[in-house]
Structure 1
Amino acid sequence: MPVRVRKADVHTAMFSVDAAAAQKLIDYSGLRVCQFRPGRAVVNLMLARYIDGDLGQYHEFGTCVMVNPPGSHARGLRALGDAAAFIHHLPVDQSFTLEAGRRIWGFPKIMADFTVRDGNPFSFEVSVEGSLIAGIEFGRGLPVPMPPRRQVMKAYTFAEGTTRRVPWEMVNTGVRFRPGGATLRLGDHPYAKELASLGLPKRAMVSGSVGNVEMTFGDAEVIS
């Protein structure tokens, strides 16, 4: 420790969902969803391609529900800026990162298959034994001029009855964002049915990509 990722790229789509449905989905964690406006919460769907890192090369699909840090009951757009990501789904396509992620941080990793199509639009599908979880198509975002700087992320996981905080730092370069810009298609896998239970719309509020991400993960901290 710490575990380092020296090069990865990421595509992400942010969706507005029903807050009560999102809370029901993650009640097991003991955390509370962040309501960025009354009755609405945020779910991020993310594809990461890890190219050079301590856990090897692999693909990863994340379902992240934005939550308040323990003890906070904040609401509104300002609260969303201080919110944390609770990682509810995390399929991957390599066994080493699956075992490491589960044992070290409590990440909910399962084995999956990925099909990725580079280009404009960029698209991918993630499935398990032929059962589709989701496919997302991304339009190309606009460049966001920002100097590389280290960001401290707030992230939580849950495994074996325990909620953990994961120390997570990253440096992003080649950032692009746009309103909308991503179209979601859900399949018939149980994970897809969970996403559908949120009333998930087909088009994102905001989507984006990061051309290169460097990450550092420390030891998980048990919080409950």
Structure 2
Amino acid sequence: MDAVIFDLDGVLVDSETVWDATRRAVVAEHGGTWTEQASRALMGMSTPEWARYLVDELGARLTAERAAEVVVDRMAERYAAGPPVLPGAVEVVRAVGRDYPVAIASSSPPVLIDAFLDATGLADLVGVALSSEEVGAGKPEPDVYLEAANRLGVAPRDCVAVEDSTNGLRSALAAGMTVVAVPNPHFPPEVDVLARAGSVLNEVSELPTTLTTL
């Protein structure tokens, strides 16, 4: 493998439940109704996609643009106190970065990716930090992974992608990458999708050793 591309939410930061609670609150405050399917459906969507979902599917009485603004502002306030970095995540990125070019391919908006990089001091190490807002479609489409590989100058087939969710795994698999799964304990990926991963880890700290076996 020639490069490693990390997802952010659920892999490096424990933020999936924060996103979920924030979106739920905004929907409820603006006259919408949360559904049983919503949490999983939203995972991996780009900001424009999930904002439209809050309005069109869940009935929040906002424009999609305003829904995105409200949710992202609240997430930024949470990150201002320090992003919820998962234990060992920074050390793993540094360890991997000693041997491979590394990138982040995330569904988070750029402001939150930048907040993570600034808070952890990883900005100089991560060669590419890309939001799905900056490409054609969010996960499960492969766009964000393909563009991250392109910006690294590495063929997708020569990249390892590290993912936690069903839509994230589908995105990386569709990009033709070797996929290492770190299943999200709050929203476990679908079993049939997880089975397609090249390796499944209990926690991200196992990644440096795992890379030597791929």
TM-score normalized by the length of structure 1? 0.26
More helix by share: 2
TM-score normalized by the length of structure 2? 0.27
More strand by share: 1
